[in-house]
Amino acid sequence: MSQLTSSNKYGKSIFQRVFGGYSQLLRIPGTARYAVGAVVASMPFPMVGMCITISVQQIYGSYTLAGTLSAVQAISLACLTPLFGKLVDRFGQTRVSLPIIAVWVAAAIALMTCIQLRVPQWILYFIVPFMAFVPPWGAMSRSRWTYLLKNAEDGAEKINRAMGFSSILDEAMWMIGNPLSSILAVVSGVLSFSFTGVCVAVGALMFLSVRSAEPPSQTDLAREAGLTRKEYRAREAARAAGAVGAASGSGVEGKQRSIFSLGFISICATWFGLGAFQSASGISIIAFAREQNVQSFTGFVFACFSFSALVGATLYGAKDWSIPLWKRFYFCIIVVAVGLSSFLLAQNIWTIMIIYLVIGVCQSPTWINGNQIILHLVPPARFTEGVGIMSAMNAIGGSVGNSIAGVFIDKYGAHGGFATVCVLAVVAVVIAFSGVKQIREATLKPMLVTVEA
């Protein structure tokens, strides 16, 4: 009996250690609602591309058209996300999100109607870019966590845990969204788009109704300071750079007026490379599964990666790390790069699945570390913009990686795609280490949310 009691206490201790920090975050009023709302409203990210591909192929009978339209939507999303992030920082989350959502709903209705009516293809190309009108929910949610926790006791550790929790929800979204979109789209294109629209409406209502957690916009802060928005942005950048310089012991007053520092450019270039080799691995796995005649298991393989990433996010965010952030960042990106490169040696789809399960635990920590690095690189009032630019670079890199891998897959088969993954992974790691000086220096200084900006 005593052994059983001791075992129960030990189990509770582990559970408390892993999940206790997350429960503390969710006890803050409104946080559970906006955190879950952000994920629900983000369903267009995993679902729209799949819905467009399956619906267009069913009606028009063309994979080329379906793939091209999905690419147009993805590229539009990459271009618009930084712009929306910039507008959110300037004018506020609610004020910017509502018109963006209205445009997306109108575009979804128009696109589904046109597909069902089999209109000329050029009309679809005109409508699809408007399907990229999606507020940067993930960045806005992380901005809210930063705003709420920056002045809390052990704020840096709690922000790290909040970033981990956001990544857990993101991975859950992808795990659910990818298979669900394919099932619904096969049943009915109208049903799949309708479900996505309901998610957008419900998620937006949950998120935007928590007004107490919304960070003040640059317009609000400038008005309070009696300045124009341009004057406020200039003063904020100078104060932040000067405070960080003083905190690091340099005593140098910063005069930086732009977020595009060498460190920020380095992390964005790294995210471009990360997107390139990860997307190339995805399309190569699909080609490999077709060659092995096991296409039906492809979704399961990707779900294993998402599940492993979810576990990694849960455990990573629960721990208070003493290892410097920049070392954790480089360790995780090397593990992911080496793991995906090893696909070249795979002889069957099960080997790939096992590799995915092993390296997936470093996937979410890589993104968590990237978001934390951004907190060291950009003023807090421009955090949403910074994350938007970083995410856009990742999406653009993904499009480039898909295109390059596709060419080699057509010529040499799936292993030609895996060879492309190896090359792109090496290039991405080289790019990452080319900015190691700037990233290391930035992360050894306090986060900009901890200095007066």
Q: Are residues 198 and 307 in the same domain?
A: no
Q: Are residues 205 and 240 in the same domain?
A: no
Q: Does 158 fall in a domain?
A: yes
pLDDT band at 103; cut points 50, 70, 90: very high
Residue 192 and residue 55 in contact, taking contact as beta carbons nearer than 8 Å = yes
Q: CA-CA distance, 148 to 25, in Å (whole number)? A: 10
Q: Does 10 fall in a domain?
A: no
Q: Does 264 fall in a domain?
A: yes
Task: Report the range out of 91-105, 147-161, 301-315 with the highest average pLDDT.
Answer: 91-105
* Tokens read off for 28: 């803050």
Q: What average pLDDT score do residues 352-367 get? A: 86
Q: Does 347 fall in a domain?
A: yes
Name the average pLDDT for the chain: 79
Q: Are residues 139 and 202 in the same domain?
A: yes
Q: Are residues 240 and 192 in the same domain?
A: no
CA Rg value for the chain: 22
193: Cβ contacts below 8 Å, ≥ 6 apart: 51, 55, 108, 111, 112
- Straight-line distance from the first to the last Cα atom of the chain, in angstroms, rounded to the nearest whole number: 58
Cα→Cα distances 276→79, 232, 280, 370, 422, Å? 16, 37, 6, 16, 11
Q: CA-CA distance, 221 to 399, in Å (whole number)? A: 37
Tell me the pLDDT tens digit for each residue of 14-68: 555 555 567 778 888 888 899 889 888 888 877 777 677 667 777 887 656 776 7
| b/e per residue 248-282 (b: at least 16 CB within 10 A) | eeeeeebeeeebebebbbbbbbbbbbbbbbbbbbb
Q: Are residues 71 and 194 in the same domain?
A: yes
Q: Which domain holds residue 287?
A: 258-448
Instruction: Count up the domains in the chain and report the number.
Output: 3
Q: Are residues 391 and 418 in the same domain?
A: yes
pLDDT at 283 over 90: no
Q: What average pLDDT score do residues 152-160 get? A: 72
424-268-133-193 Cα dihedral, nearest 10 degrees: 40
Q: Are residues 406 and 267 in the same domain?
A: yes
pLDDT the model gives residue 58: 77
CATH of the domain at 416: 1.20.1250.20
Q: Are residues 264 and 167 in the same domain?
A: no
**Closest CA relative to residue 417, chosen from 245, 283, 294:** 283
pLDDT band at 244; cut points 50, 70, 90: very low
Q: Are residues 237 and 281 in the same domain?
A: no
Q: Does 82 fall in a domain?
A: yes
φ, ψ at 194 (rounded to 5°) = -65, -45
Tell me the pLDDT tens digit for each residue of 337-350: 999 899 888 888 88
Tell me the pLDDT tens digit for each residue of 177-235: 666 766 676 667 677 778 888 889 999 999 999 888 888 888 888 888 777 777 777 77
pLDDT the model gives residue 296: 62
Q: CA-CA distance, 446 to 298, in Å (whole number)? A: 43
Q: Does 293 fall in a domain?
A: yes
Q: Are residues 152 and 222 in the same domain?
A: no
Q: CA-CA distance, 450 to 428, in Å (whole number)? A: 31
Amino acid at 102: A
Q: Are residues 62 and 167 in the same domain?
A: yes
431: Cβ contacts below 8 Å, ≥ 6 apart: 266, 269, 270, 272, 273
Residue 220 and residue 88 in contact, taking contact as beta carbons nearer than 8 Å = no
Q: Are residues 226 and 362 in the same domain?
A: no
Q: Does 307 fall in a domain?
A: yes
DSSP 154-204: THHHHHHHHHHHHHHHHHHHHHHHHHHHHHHHHH-HHHHHHHHHHHHHHHH
Q: Does 253 fall in a domain?
A: no
